[in-house]
Amino acid sequence: MRAIAEAGWEAELNSVITERIQAGDCPASAVDAWLDSRVGKQPIDALYDKLRPLIENDPGHALLRGLVNFAGRRSQHFLFDQLLRDHKTRLQRDGECWGLVGWAHIQFDRYRAAAKWYADWAERAQRPTWALENLALAHMAQQEVAPAMSVVRALLSEEPGNSAGHLWMAADAALRGAHPEAERSLASAGDVPQRHYMHPIADLLQAWAVAVAKRAPAYAEAAFLHAGKRGDATPGLRMLRSRLGGQLLRLVPWWKRPYYLYVLLLA
DSSP string, 182-214: HHHHHHHH-SS-SSGGGHHHHHHHHHHHHHHHT
Q: Report the alpha-carbon distance of residue 122 to residue 131 in Å, rounded.
A: 12
Give the domain ranges of the chain.
1-108
Residue 92: band (very low, low, confident or very high) from pLDDT cuts 50, 70, 90: very high
The region of weakest confidence among 51-60, 79-88, 168-177, 249-258 is 249-258
| DSSP, res 39 | T
The answer on pLDDT for 70 being more than 80 is: yes
Residue 6 has what pLDDT? 46
Residue 218: band (very low, low, confident or very high) from pLDDT cuts 50, 70, 90: low
pTM to 2 decimal places: 0.85
* pLDDT per position as a tens digit, 6-21: 445 456 777 888 899 9
Residue 241 has what pLDDT? 83
Q: Is 119:99 a contact under the CB 8 Å cutoff?
A: no
Q: Report the alpha-carbon distance of residue 117 to residue 140 in Å, rounded.
A: 16
